[in-house]
Structure 1
Amino acid sequence: MNIQSKLSKLAVGTAQFGSSYGVANQTGQVSVEDVAQILDDARNAGAMTLDTAIAYGESERVLGAQNLRGFSIITKLPAVPLGCSDIASWVEAELDASLERLGVSTIDALLLHRPGQLLESHGEDLYRAMRSQRTQGKVTRIGVSVYGPGELEDLCEAFRFDLVQAPFSVLDRRLLLSGWLERLQLQGTALHVRSVFMQGLLLMAAKDRPSKFDRWASQWSMWDRWLKEVKCSPLEACLLHALGDAQIERVVVGIDSSSQWRDILRASAGHCPPIPVELGCTDEKLLNPSFWSDL
């Protein structure tokens, strides 16, 4: 894969544009000036996908103040409120508000941040409402954002999605081991992966890694030793592992600053040997950040 092809697979994750996010984030919310620089650098590099969500604080509004011409935008609906009696009207109102904040009339994809609601009593109404927005041309694709492939079994049996977003990293190989990497491709569902840095945890030096992650010391030791042996930076290894997989359409990377984004662009053009399969982990308490506060 040439450099331009790799760069075009990058998607700018914008959670940090609207709030302080990530276990390794030491700079807080990205400044408006940095957002403008990141988008300029992304356009110049050919990385023309932006990933945001209604739940990402002021992210949509911050993006809407920028020149978004040419960018493909993905946003996500929050959980349907308890007691909501008109799902279709709620979905339309939420999406219309997103489009207004973003300053656009249409986006590439609308995903569900809480896809488990599709399996509840109002699930069919929710799915129908999303399809209606696609039919109206406000979105090109609909889909779900999941914490892991285990959620996909019931969801994909009941519904058809254009796009799935899921975690994937040098440690998290659940998509591959479960067979869902291939199954999504066979059923014509595009795959975007996130958490390739595990909120920056994989990029930390051993001395900076929070002690609550010490229970996976053997994993970290293997990771640090392998990086040293092959003379590869953790940034290069994490990025190239995901960018090199032909079954992945986009790799969403969260950005803390314009300088970090430039580092990501440079690292994406690098080289790294295949990641040892022994690095893989299946422990949800490590792979799912929603468990980290309880460690």
Structure 2
Amino acid sequence: MKLAIGTVQFGLDYGVSNNTGQTSQNQVKAILNYAQQQGITLLDTAAAYGDAEKVLGCANVKDFELVSKLPPIKSDSSSREALAFAENSLQATLKNLQSNHIYGYLYHHCEDILTYGNVRNWLTKKQQQGVINKIGVSVYSPEQAAIILDHCHIDLIQIPLNLFDQRFIHSGMLKRLKENGVEVHVRSVFLQGLLLMEKAVRPDYFYSLNSHFEQIDRLCKDYGMSRIAMALNFALQQPQVDKVVVGVNNQAQLTAIVQSIGEELPTYNWQQLSCDNEAFINPSLWQI
């Protein structure tokens, strides 16, 4: 199963289209039970996602593969301070998750993997001890991925990819990552839910993308597809993608997503929908 669950909503009120707030503990259990029934095996979390790690730990997730992230290291840290921070962060993550090992541990701030060689060496030791299965990074752009591939060995990478953000496809970086044996996890397939929103409630900030949204709506109408099915299967059907991470607020949302898997995409020049303006495809830059 290529689908994985992102857990930021378990710990924070997150997402441009989220009008229900942080997911309740009961809903978390319902989501995880349903996920297991559907053969979903991987959960993606982070220390930066509020108390998401603790929520997962309380929900008994021993049957899932877990990916979490090393928080950004303060830029003025010495090597010794950076190492102490990394040690404490991993220890806290494992304690919160109530686990003694983790499938993937990613640098949340990708520049840290280049800056602190001693942290990298320490993580490698943890990998050799079986505490971490795969070491990796979370990146925002193909340029960041290229720099890391040129200087470091990584096992796992998390990248943004969706109907609007096709940079990793058309730059050739997705192909290069697979040629280097890197496991690829994709996030932001719904662009925080923006790709699923009705025009009436879509923020005015995205007005200049109206023609893109109209193209999606036209395709959905012509081929009898939902926006969820189109956005999801565009990512799932990229052959170099290993996991597609989706965030959900409740079991009903996850059910709708799972039921959309496998719908055949129409023959179309999908590159027409791509947008290279980071102000629209990088949520951290949104001014809404």
Query: What residue identity is the alignment partner of 1:217?
Result: N
Deviation at 1:117, TM superposition (A): 2.4
1:278 aligned to which of 250, 272, 282: 272
Number of the residue aligned with 1:52: 45
Unaligned runs of 5+ in 1: 1-7
Tell me, what secondary structure is at the counterpart of 2:168?
A: helix
Alignment of 1:242-281 (within 5 A): 242-274=235-267, 276-281=270-275
Alpha-carbon separation, structure 1, partners of 2:230 and 2:131: 37
Q: Which of 85, 92, 98 in structure 2 is aligned with 1:97? A: 92
Give per-residue Cα distances to partners, 1:172-221, cap 9 Å, x unaligned.
11011111111011111110000000000000112221111102222122
Q: TM-score, normalised by structure 1?
A: 0.93
Q: How many residues align?
A: 285
Corresponding position of 2:55: 62
Distance 1:177 1:188 in 2: 19
* % same residue: 37
Decide which of 173, 179, 186 is 2:166's aligned counterpart: 173
* 1:65 counterpart letter in structure 2: C
Q: How does 1:152-171 map to 2 (within 5 A)?
A: 152-171=145-164
Matched, 1:141 2:149: no
In 2 relative to 1, CA 14–222 (structure 1 residues): closer, same or farther, beyond 3 Å?
same
C-alpha separation in 1, matches of 2:267 and 2:101: 39
The match for 2:102 among 104, 107, 112 is: 107
Partner of 1:40: 33
TM-score of the pair, normalised by structure 2: 0.95
Q: Distance in 1 between matches of 2:267 and 2:56?
A: 36
CA contact (8 A) 1:241 1:274 kept: no
Q: Which amino acid aligns with 1:287?
A: I
SS state at 2:286 partner: helix
1:226 alignment partner, one of 219, 229, 244: 219
State whether residues 62 and 99 of structure 2, in contact with CA within 8 Å, keep that contact through their aligned partners in structure 1.
Answer: no
Cα distance per residue 1:36-73 (max 9 Å; x no partner): 00000010000010000000001000000112132000
Contact 1:50-1:71 within 8 A present in 2 as well: yes
Aligned to 1:30: 23
Name the residue aligned to 1:5: none
Supply the distance in 2 between the matched residues of 1:182 and 1:83 (Cα, whole angstroms): 35
| Conserved 8 A contact 2:107-2:113 | no
2:285 pairs, out of 263, 280, 291, with 291
2:192 to 188, 194, 199: 199
How far has the Cα of 1:132 moved from its partner? 2.1
Q: C-alpha deviations, 1:237-292, integer Å up to 9, x for none? A: 01111111221110000111111111111111433324532111111111111110
